[in-house]
Chain A
Amino acid sequence: MACINNDGTLTESARRLLGKLTVPTAPEELSKRIGQPVFRVRSSLREMEAAGLVQASEGKFLMTEAGKKLTAESSRVYE
Protein backbone atom coordinates (compact mmCIF):
# COMPACT_ATOMS: atom_id res chain seq x y z
CA MET A 1 0.00 0.00 0.00
CA ALA A 2 1.28 3.45 -0.82
CA CYS A 3 -0.02 5.18 2.33
CA ILE A 4 0.71 2.64 5.07
CA ASN A 5 4.18 1.33 5.86
CA ASN A 6 4.85 -2.34 6.50
CA ASP A 7 4.92 -1.63 10.25
CA GLY A 8 1.39 -0.21 10.11
CA THR A 9 2.34 3.46 10.45
CA LEU A 10 1.34 6.10 7.92
CA THR A 11 3.82 7.44 5.38
CA GLU A 12 4.73 11.09 5.89
CA SER A 13 2.63 12.29 2.96
CA ALA A 14 -0.33 10.20 4.10
CA ARG A 15 -0.05 11.59 7.63
CA ARG A 16 -0.12 15.15 6.29
CA LEU A 17 -3.12 14.37 4.11
CA LEU A 18 -5.08 12.61 6.84
CA GLY A 19 -4.33 15.39 9.31
CA LYS A 20 -6.26 17.84 7.14
CA LEU A 21 -9.43 15.75 7.23
CA THR A 22 -10.79 16.97 10.56
CA VAL A 23 -13.69 18.46 8.59
CA PRO A 24 -15.34 16.95 5.48
CA THR A 25 -13.15 17.95 2.53
CA ALA A 26 -13.32 17.28 -1.19
CA PRO A 27 -10.24 15.84 -2.93
CA GLU A 28 -9.78 18.96 -5.08
CA GLU A 29 -9.71 21.24 -2.03
CA LEU A 30 -7.39 18.87 -0.19
CA SER A 31 -5.03 18.87 -3.18
CA LYS A 32 -4.67 22.65 -2.98
CA ARG A 33 -4.17 22.62 0.80
CA ILE A 34 -1.42 20.02 0.89
CA GLY A 35 0.20 20.71 -2.48
CA GLN A 36 -0.25 17.21 -3.86
CA PRO A 37 -1.72 16.59 -7.34
CA VAL A 38 -5.38 15.60 -7.35
CA PHE A 39 -4.70 12.14 -8.77
CA ARG A 40 -2.44 11.33 -5.80
CA VAL A 41 -5.05 12.58 -3.35
CA ARG A 42 -7.82 10.51 -4.94
CA SER A 43 -5.66 7.40 -4.93
CA SER A 44 -4.62 7.93 -1.31
CA LEU A 45 -8.20 8.56 -0.16
CA ARG A 46 -9.35 5.38 -1.88
CA GLU A 47 -6.68 3.41 -0.04
CA MET A 48 -7.45 5.07 3.28
CA GLU A 49 -11.17 4.48 2.88
CA ALA A 50 -10.52 0.78 2.24
CA ALA A 51 -8.40 0.73 5.43
CA GLY A 52 -11.14 2.41 7.45
CA LEU A 53 -9.15 5.58 8.10
CA VAL A 54 -11.55 7.96 6.31
CA GLN A 55 -15.21 7.87 5.44
CA ALA A 56 -16.79 9.40 2.33
CA SER A 57 -20.05 11.26 2.12
CA GLU A 58 -21.35 13.27 -0.86
CA GLY A 59 -17.91 13.49 -2.42
CA LYS A 60 -16.15 14.70 0.75
CA PHE A 61 -13.91 12.78 3.11
CA LEU A 62 -13.57 12.85 6.89
CA MET A 63 -11.07 11.13 9.18
CA THR A 64 -12.50 8.29 11.27
CA GLU A 65 -11.59 7.43 14.86
CA ALA A 66 -9.24 4.78 13.51
CA GLY A 67 -7.65 7.44 11.34
CA LYS A 68 -7.18 9.77 14.30
CA LYS A 69 -5.57 6.99 16.32
CA LEU A 70 -3.17 6.02 13.54
CA THR A 71 -2.28 9.65 12.86
CA ALA A 72 -1.36 10.09 16.51
CA GLU A 73 0.70 6.89 16.55
CA SER A 74 2.46 7.82 13.30
CA SER A 75 3.20 11.36 14.56
CA ARG A 76 5.27 9.87 17.37
CA VAL A 77 7.36 8.06 14.75
CA TYR A 78 8.13 11.29 12.90
CA GLU A 79 8.87 13.43 15.98
Chain B
Amino acid sequence: MATGLVAESALAPPSLPRLGSPAPQFEAPTTHGVLRLEDFRGSWLILFSHPADFTPVCTTEFIAFAQLHPQLREINCELLGLSIDSVYSHIAWVRNIEDRLGQKITFPVIADLSKEVATLYGMIMPGESTTETSRCVFIIDDKQIVRAMIYYPLSTGRNVQEIYRLVQALQTSDKHGVATPANWTVGGKVIIPPPRTQEMAEERVKQEGVECKDWYFCTKTL
Protein backbone atom coordinates (compact mmCIF):
# COMPACT_ATOMS: atom_id res chain seq x y z
CA MET B 1 0.00 0.00 0.00
CA ALA B 2 2.89 2.37 0.80
CA THR B 3 4.18 2.09 -2.79
CA GLY B 4 0.74 2.91 -4.14
CA LEU B 5 0.49 5.92 -1.85
CA VAL B 6 3.92 7.22 -2.93
CA ALA B 7 2.85 6.94 -6.57
CA GLU B 8 -0.45 8.67 -5.83
CA SER B 9 1.12 11.61 -4.01
CA ALA B 10 3.90 11.92 -6.61
CA LEU B 11 1.34 12.28 -9.39
CA ALA B 12 -1.14 14.52 -7.60
CA PRO B 13 -0.26 18.17 -7.00
CA PRO B 14 -0.39 19.40 -3.42
CA SER B 15 -3.98 20.21 -2.56
CA LEU B 16 -6.34 20.82 0.28
CA PRO B 17 -8.93 18.29 1.37
CA ARG B 18 -12.47 19.54 0.91
CA LEU B 19 -15.20 19.72 3.53
CA GLY B 20 -17.77 17.01 2.96
CA SER B 21 -15.38 14.88 0.89
CA PRO B 22 -13.61 11.65 1.89
CA ALA B 23 -10.42 12.28 3.85
CA PRO B 24 -7.34 11.30 1.78
CA GLN B 25 -6.20 7.84 2.82
CA PHE B 26 -2.64 7.28 3.99
CA GLU B 27 -0.35 4.83 5.75
CA ALA B 28 2.35 6.34 7.95
CA PRO B 29 4.88 5.50 10.66
CA THR B 30 3.82 6.77 14.06
CA THR B 31 4.86 6.49 17.68
CA HIS B 32 2.26 3.70 17.98
CA GLY B 33 3.47 1.72 14.96
CA VAL B 34 2.43 1.98 11.32
CA LEU B 35 -1.12 3.31 11.14
CA ARG B 36 -3.57 3.83 8.31
CA LEU B 37 -6.34 6.39 8.31
CA GLU B 38 -8.63 3.40 7.66
CA ASP B 39 -7.71 2.07 11.14
CA PHE B 40 -9.73 4.92 12.65
CA ARG B 41 -12.97 4.15 10.78
CA GLY B 42 -15.88 4.03 13.22
CA SER B 43 -14.40 6.76 15.43
CA TRP B 44 -14.20 10.49 14.91
CA LEU B 45 -10.63 11.70 14.48
CA ILE B 46 -8.81 14.96 15.12
CA LEU B 47 -5.79 14.88 12.79
CA PHE B 48 -3.56 17.79 13.68
CA SER B 49 -0.10 18.97 12.66
CA HIS B 50 2.51 20.94 14.56
CA PRO B 51 5.64 22.64 13.23
CA ALA B 52 8.35 20.83 15.17
CA ASP B 53 9.17 18.71 18.19
CA PHE B 54 11.01 20.27 21.13
CA THR B 55 9.50 23.71 20.55
CA PRO B 56 7.58 25.58 23.24
CA VAL B 57 4.22 26.44 21.63
CA CYS B 58 3.89 22.88 20.29
CA THR B 59 4.67 21.52 23.74
CA THR B 60 1.82 23.52 25.28
CA GLU B 61 -0.51 22.21 22.58
CA PHE B 62 0.49 18.60 23.13
CA ILE B 63 -0.13 18.96 26.85
CA ALA B 64 -3.53 20.53 26.19
CA PHE B 65 -4.54 17.82 23.73
CA ALA B 66 -3.38 15.06 26.08
CA GLN B 67 -5.38 16.55 28.94
CA LEU B 68 -8.44 16.65 26.70
CA HIS B 69 -7.95 13.09 25.38
CA PRO B 70 -10.09 11.27 27.99
CA GLN B 71 -13.06 13.57 27.26
CA LEU B 72 -12.61 13.05 23.55
CA ARG B 73 -12.66 9.29 23.96
CA GLU B 74 -15.94 9.60 25.85
CA ILE B 75 -17.46 11.03 22.66
CA ASN B 76 -15.80 8.41 20.42
CA CYS B 77 -13.10 10.73 19.14
CA GLU B 78 -9.40 9.93 18.74
CA LEU B 79 -6.33 12.15 18.30
CA LEU B 80 -3.53 11.79 15.74
CA GLY B 81 -0.66 14.26 15.62
CA LEU B 82 1.83 14.92 12.82
CA SER B 83 5.04 16.78 12.18
CA ILE B 84 7.95 16.48 9.78
CA ASP B 85 10.21 14.92 12.37
CA SER B 86 11.54 11.40 12.84
CA VAL B 87 9.82 8.87 15.06
CA TYR B 88 12.93 8.95 17.30
CA SER B 89 12.49 12.70 17.76
CA HIS B 90 8.82 12.16 18.59
CA ILE B 91 9.62 9.47 21.14
CA ALA B 92 12.32 11.58 22.77
CA TRP B 93 10.00 14.59 22.91
CA VAL B 94 6.96 12.85 24.40
CA ARG B 95 9.24 11.22 26.99
CA ASN B 96 10.65 14.67 27.75
CA ILE B 97 7.14 16.10 28.19
CA GLU B 98 6.26 13.33 30.61
CA ASP B 99 9.54 13.52 32.56
CA ARG B 100 9.84 17.30 32.76
CA LEU B 101 6.24 18.47 32.67
CA GLY B 102 4.36 15.51 34.13
CA GLN B 103 2.00 14.92 31.21
CA LYS B 104 1.83 11.57 29.47
CA ILE B 105 1.11 11.85 25.76
CA THR B 106 -1.40 9.10 25.00
CA PHE B 107 -2.08 9.67 21.31
CA PRO B 108 0.02 8.58 18.29
CA VAL B 109 2.13 11.09 16.35
CA ILE B 110 2.93 10.62 12.66
CA ALA B 111 6.61 10.92 11.71
CA ASP B 112 6.12 12.44 8.27
CA LEU B 113 9.74 12.84 7.12
CA SER B 114 8.73 12.15 3.52
CA LYS B 115 6.06 14.89 3.75
CA GLU B 116 3.57 12.51 2.11
CA VAL B 117 0.71 13.13 4.51
CA ALA B 118 1.58 16.82 4.90
CA THR B 119 1.33 17.20 1.11
CA LEU B 120 -1.90 15.21 0.83
CA TYR B 121 -3.50 17.44 3.45
CA GLY B 122 -2.02 20.77 2.42
CA MET B 123 -0.31 21.24 5.77
CA ILE B 124 2.76 23.12 4.48
CA MET B 125 2.35 26.87 3.96
CA PRO B 126 5.43 28.07 2.02
CA GLY B 127 4.89 31.65 3.17
CA GLU B 128 5.55 30.44 6.72
CA SER B 129 7.93 27.53 6.18
CA THR B 130 8.83 25.02 3.46
CA THR B 131 10.13 22.46 5.95
CA GLU B 132 7.56 22.56 8.74
CA THR B 133 3.81 22.04 8.81
CA SER B 134 1.65 24.86 10.08
CA ARG B 135 -0.87 24.24 12.85
CA CYS B 136 -3.57 22.45 10.90
CA VAL B 137 -6.56 20.57 12.29
CA PHE B 138 -8.82 18.21 10.37
CA ILE B 139 -11.98 16.90 11.98
CA ILE B 140 -12.76 13.57 10.28
CA ASP B 141 -15.99 11.79 11.14
CA ASP B 142 -16.60 8.11 11.80
CA LYS B 143 -17.23 7.50 8.08
CA GLN B 144 -13.90 9.19 7.24
CA ILE B 145 -15.41 12.34 5.75
CA VAL B 146 -13.66 15.68 6.36
CA ARG B 147 -16.10 17.75 8.40
CA ALA B 148 -14.06 20.79 9.48
CA MET B 149 -10.63 22.32 9.02
CA ILE B 150 -8.75 24.88 11.10
CA TYR B 151 -5.48 26.53 10.10
CA TYR B 152 -3.40 28.43 12.64
CA PRO B 153 0.00 30.10 12.10
CA LEU B 154 3.29 28.95 13.59
CA SER B 155 3.19 31.70 16.21
CA THR B 156 -0.19 30.96 17.80
CA GLY B 157 -1.19 27.98 19.91
CA ARG B 158 -4.62 26.52 19.29
CA ASN B 159 -7.59 26.49 21.66
CA VAL B 160 -8.31 22.80 22.22
CA GLN B 161 -11.59 23.55 23.97
CA GLU B 162 -12.83 25.11 20.72
CA ILE B 163 -11.78 21.98 18.82
CA TYR B 164 -13.68 19.87 21.38
CA ARG B 165 -16.73 22.14 21.04
CA LEU B 166 -16.52 21.80 17.27
CA VAL B 167 -16.60 17.99 17.43
CA GLN B 168 -19.52 18.10 19.86
CA ALA B 169 -21.39 20.51 17.57
CA LEU B 170 -20.89 18.32 14.50
CA GLN B 171 -21.97 15.20 16.36
CA THR B 172 -25.05 17.04 17.64
CA SER B 173 -25.92 18.17 14.13
CA ASP B 174 -25.60 14.61 12.82
CA LYS B 175 -27.64 13.08 15.62
CA HIS B 176 -30.50 15.57 15.68
CA GLY B 177 -30.55 16.99 12.14
CA VAL B 178 -29.98 20.53 13.41
CA ALA B 179 -27.41 23.31 13.04
CA THR B 180 -25.66 25.11 15.86
CA PRO B 181 -25.53 28.91 16.27
CA ALA B 182 -22.55 31.11 17.01
CA ASN B 183 -20.89 30.34 20.33
CA TRP B 184 -23.04 27.25 20.86
CA THR B 185 -22.12 24.93 23.70
CA VAL B 186 -23.67 21.65 24.82
CA GLY B 187 -27.14 22.29 26.29
CA GLY B 188 -27.67 25.47 24.31
CA LYS B 189 -30.50 26.02 21.85
CA VAL B 190 -29.97 24.57 18.38
CA ILE B 191 -31.14 25.88 15.01
CA ILE B 192 -33.76 24.01 13.02
CA PRO B 193 -32.91 23.95 9.30
CA PRO B 194 -35.02 26.57 7.47
CA PRO B 195 -38.09 25.33 5.57
CA ARG B 196 -37.66 24.82 1.82
CA THR B 197 -41.21 25.48 0.63
CA GLN B 198 -43.93 28.01 1.36
CA GLU B 199 -46.12 25.29 2.81
CA MET B 200 -43.35 24.20 5.18
CA ALA B 201 -42.74 27.84 6.16
CA GLU B 202 -46.39 28.27 7.11
CA GLU B 203 -46.33 25.08 9.16
CA ARG B 204 -43.06 26.00 10.80
CA VAL B 205 -44.28 29.19 12.47
CA LYS B 206 -47.18 27.24 13.98
CA GLN B 207 -44.98 24.35 15.17
CA GLU B 208 -45.00 23.67 18.90
CA GLY B 209 -41.83 23.36 20.86
CA VAL B 210 -39.85 25.76 18.69
CA GLU B 211 -39.08 29.45 19.05
CA CYS B 212 -39.18 31.41 15.78
CA LYS B 213 -37.84 34.93 15.28
CA ASP B 214 -39.14 34.53 11.74
CA TRP B 215 -40.08 31.62 9.45
CA TYR B 216 -36.44 30.96 8.53
CA PHE B 217 -34.92 31.46 11.97
CA CYS B 218 -36.18 28.95 14.50
CA THR B 219 -34.49 27.36 17.48
CA LYS B 220 -35.31 24.66 19.98
CA THR B 221 -33.90 23.02 23.05
CA LEU B 222 -32.85 19.40 22.59
Residues of A within 8 A of B (CB): 1-3, 28, 37-40, 42-44, 46-47
Residue of B nearest to A3 (CB): B33
Residues of B within 8 A of A (CB): 32-36, 38-40, 42-43, 73, 78, 108
Task: Give the complex CA separation of A77 and B33 in angstroms.
Answer: 22
Task: Give the complex CA separation of A1 and B29 in angstroms.
Answer: 10
Contact of A43 among B36, B73, B78 (CB under 8 A): B36
A28 engages B34 (CB within 8 Å): no
A1 engages B33 (CB within 8 Å): yes
Residue of A nearest to B73 (CB): A37
A38 engages B43 (CB within 8 Å): yes
Residue of A nearest to B34 (CB): A43
- A40 contact set on B, CB distance < 8 A: 32-33, 39
Task: Give the complex CA separation of A9 and B35 in angstroms.
Answer: 21
- A37 contact set on B, CB distance < 8 A: 43, 73, 78
- B35 contact set on A, CB distance < 8 A: 39, 43
- B73 contact set on A, CB distance < 8 A: 37
B39 engages A43 (CB within 8 Å): yes
Task: Give the complex CA separation of A45 and B35 in angstroms.
Answer: 11
